Amino acid sequence: MEYEALFDVPVLMKDGTEFSTGILGPETDEPVPALLVRTPDDKETGGLGPSSPTLSALLRAGYAVGLQDCRGTFASAGVFVPHLHDAADGADTVAWPDSQEWWDGNVGCWGPPASAWCGGLPPRPGRPD
């Protein structure tokens, strides 16, 4: 299986702040599910934590993986204030795949506690759980 990697993709929050997001996914014409990790610890190092599956395992399983620097950290704009914007930023990030042709409608979040915050948000109305 071939894979595609996109680096520093700008993901726009509702307040106009752009977050840098790396997208890795299988090269396919079929839509795929998305797994998102938001991290204050530098998306370039993976931000997955020691007990997470490897990126290669997730890609082989057919997922697109998004790794995002949180507000005001590393390549993302804004000012970092721990947890102040996490709920809104997480919701905006989870909604972002809606505009992507490669997405099949399924999204999940995971990672160490700071990275998995967007996973604690309620499902969006009208979207699959």
One digit per residue, the tens of pLDDT, for the chain of length 129 reads 789 999 999 999 999 999 999 999 999 999 999 998 888 888 887 656 666 678 888 888 999 999 999 999 999 999 999 888 888 898 899 889 888 999 999 988 877 766 655 545 545 545 444
Average pLDDT, the chain: 84
Q: Is 96 inside any structural domain?
A: yes
Query: Among all chains, which residue has been given the structure tokens 């499902």?
Result: 123
Domain membership of residue 83 (yes or no) is yes
Residue 127 has a CB neighbour count (10 Å cut-off) of: 13
d(CA 79, CA 127): 30
Task: Estimate the share of the chain in helix, then strand, then coil, as percent rounded to the nearest 5.
Answer: 20, 30, 50
Answer whether residue 99 is part of any domain.
yes
Q: What phi and psi, each to the nearest 5 degrees, are found at residue 11?
A: -115, 120
Whether residue 71 is contained in a domain is answered as yes
Domain assignment present for 127: no
HSE, CB side, 13 Å, CA atoms: give it for residue 37: 27
Residue 129 lies in a domain: no
The structural domain count of the chain equals: 1
- Determine the structural domain holding residue 87 and report its residue range: 3-120
What pTM did the predictor assign?
A: 0.85
Cβ–Cβ < 8 Å for 49, 55: no
Domain harbouring 107, CATH code = 3.40.50.1820
